[in-house]
Amino acid sequence: MKNRNILMNILAVVIACVFLFPLYWIVINSFKLDSEIFAKIPTLWPKEFTLKAYQEQLSGLAVTLKNSIIIAIGSMLISLVLSVPAAYGLARYKVKGSKLFILIFLITQMLPASLVLTPLFLTFSKLNLLNTYLAPILSTATISIPFIILMLRPGFLSLPKELDDAARIDGCNAFTSFLRIALPICKPTVITAACFSFVYAWNDLAYSMTFNTKDTMRPMTAAIYTFMNQYGTKWNSIMAYGVLLILPSCIIFVTMQKHIVAGMTSGSVKG
Amino acid sequence: MPGKGKGMNRVIGYIFIVPAVIYMLVLIGYPIIYNWIISFQDVTTTTLGSAVRDFIGFDNYKAVFSDSTFKKSIINTFIYTVGCLIIQFSIGFLMAIFFSKKFRFSQPIRGFIVISWMLPVTVTALVFKFMFAEGNGIVNAILTNLNIIKEPIGWLLKGNTAMLVLIIANSWVGIPFNMLLITNGLNNISNDIYESASIDGANTIQKFFRITVPLLKTTILSVLVLGFVLTFKVFDLVYVMTGGGPVDATEVLSTYSYKTSFQLFQFGQGAAAANILFVCLFIVALIYLRTISKDEVM
């Protein structure tokens, strides 16, 4: 039995190594010199650690980083303001059509960006919203809103109704009861939801690339794609950029892994 | 106040819910309808700004369907989706069972490999492109070292291997995600059932086929259908890694629609292609909704 356990642990570590290798490869190659990247035989460990690849990126980074942050935070705020109350409303109140609403969220969650790119592009162009922050902010929020609603609803459902009744007797109305009682209790999942919506907008390429064609308005995902097309083989620079792009997701994942993993299941499948 | 009546409560409920519904209807629902309209119109760069555009019937659809690249992209989308589903589901399933055993590293490692789900697909596409590069890619280096191949392979330069690399890259994200959803289903099966089966003399294989598989039926179905939808709509991965190439060997529906609209500026045809994608996804989404609503009844 003990031998079997050791074997299982070894196998698990092997699986982890295989799955984490691409991540390792991004990070380790960002510290290599050009000469080492262009060598025929790739090295598993840099012969010489250098930050050159990062320094080369710094000049162009300021603008795209700012764009990414503005888009991700803007999208996160809209998502939270709309979807947290919606999830609460769907859990706490019995309203006509709630099944239809959930259906709408389930279906819209499945539909990809490429489906609405053309019509949204035409609409945004009419409204003069192309090459503004609003276009990617508004569109990326549609990715996270259904996800967050499905993810948060079970948590709000599990709150006892008596809690709300008690709050009402103490002088809360429906809205202050939501803000002062339900929200603080569900704080961990709401924070997780915030993280998801930030990351979804941060990771977006399709919307931002289509609506914002000006270099100065593009986020990092679109910039790294353009960079790859121009300097296709400068993999150390591309990977350095990649490290900066995966950094927020990695920090969020490592610090709140349990909540994130739980949120992934409930947000994707159904609450 | 409790007692203020149901009517008041209903209004409050709507105040909470309706803004999000309206938002989704305006930014997703309306564009989908608008997309159908565009697909019957003559929309190119010259007519883009004009208020009135000519309706041209099914011309856009005819143009799209007579394009050999479009046909190729439909076939490619299905090959890609089925390939990904087989790999993701089978390996994800095996890993879910493996990590459901109790040993020291099972929980932490299972939790950690899911990180690939959170990363920008753009970066995933780039690192796999780098790993499978012909000249200095690590995959060729390993295979050459193990004497499996003599000459480095130009993975992304040939159609079949490019598709294979796309499937592998997507599975890197899909396998842990499938594992997670199946693990969730496994956890819902009570241990008592296995214990009483053991008392009745069932062996491991019998337990798997007589208990695990039947009780996981709805989980399996919903994971497969959800996987289908998530894979079928692929855009970022293909666009960044191969751009649909070489030639049109890895062109999929979403990249085809994107290129038609935003590189050839045939917005009408791009919309028509997107609508074909929509019909495929919608049918599968309906199947998915049926599966989970049955699940709810149980």
Using CA coordinates, name the residue in chain B closest to A161.
B2
Model confidence at B190, pLDDT cuts 50, 70, 90, reads: confident
Q: Answer yes or no: is B283 within a domain.
A: yes
**pTM score of the predicted model:** 0.91
Which of A256, A115, A112, A92 lies closest to A175 in space, CA to CA? A92
Q: Answer yes or no: is B125 within a domain.
A: yes
Q: Answer yes or no: is B140 within a domain.
A: yes
Contact between B110 and B183 (Cβ < 8 Å) = yes
Phi, psi of B41 (to 5 degrees): -115, 165
A157-164 mean pLDDT: 87
The domain ranges of chain A are 53-268
Distance to chain B for A7, nearest Cα, Å:
10
Partner residue facing B114 (CB), from A103, A108, A264: A264
Map residue A17 onto helix, strand or coil.
helix
Q: Answer yes or no: is B173 within a domain.
A: yes
Q: CA A112 to CA A259: how far, in whole Å?
A: 25
Partner residue facing B278 (CB), from A115, A120, A245: A115
Model confidence at B290, pLDDT cuts 50, 70, 90, reads: confident
Give the helix ranges, DSSP H, for chain B: 6-24, 30-39, 59-65, 68-100, 106-112, 121-131, 138-145, 159-187, 191-199, 204-207, 213-215, 217-232, 236-241, 253-262, 267-297
Tell me how far the alpha carbon of residue B273 is from its chain's centroid: 18
Q: For residue A12, how many C-alpha atoms fall within 13 Å in the half-sphere facing its CB?
A: 23
Q: Which residue has the tokens 């709810």?
A: B296
Residues 98-157 of A with CB under 8 A from B: 98, 101, 103-108, 110-123, 125, 138-139, 141-142, 145-146, 149
Q: Answer yes or no: is B26 within a domain.
A: no
CATH number of the domain to which B108 belongs: 1.10.3720.10
Which of B79, B78, B85, B284 lies closest to B174 in space, CA to CA? B85
Q: Answer yes or no: is B54 within a domain.
A: no
Q: CA A60 to CA A267: how far, in whole Å?
A: 36
B267-284 mean pLDDT: 92
Is B271's pLDDT higher than 50?
yes
Distance to chain B for A191, nearest Cα, Å:
16
Q: How many domains does chain B have?
A: 1
Map residue B245 onto helix, strand or coil.
coil
Residues 42-101 of A with CB under 8 A from B: 42, 78, 82-83, 85-86, 88-90, 92-96, 98, 101
Q: For residue A270, how many C-alpha atoms fall within 13 Å in the half-sphere facing its CB?
A: 22
Tell me how far the alpha carbon of residue B129 is from its chain's centroid: 20
ipTM, 2 decimals?
Answer: 0.91
Is the CATH number 1.10.3720.10 carried by domain A53-268?
yes
Bigger pLDDT: B226 vs A194: A194
A269/B95 touch (CB, cutoff 8 Å), yes or no: no
Model confidence at A243, pLDDT cuts 50, 70, 90, reads: very high
Q: Answer yes or no: is B188 within a domain.
A: yes
B116 lies within 8 A of chain A by CB: yes
Residue type, B100: S
Partner residue facing B1 (CB), from A78, A168, A258: A168
Q: Answer yes or no: is B197 within a domain.
A: yes
Contact between A41 and B144 (Cβ < 8 Å) = no
Q: For residue B131, how many C-alpha atoms fall within 13 Å in the half-sphere facing its CB?
A: 22
Note down the domain range covering B150.
70-297
Contact between A3 and A213 (Cβ < 8 Å) = no
DSSP state of B266: B
pLDDT recorded at residue B204: 83
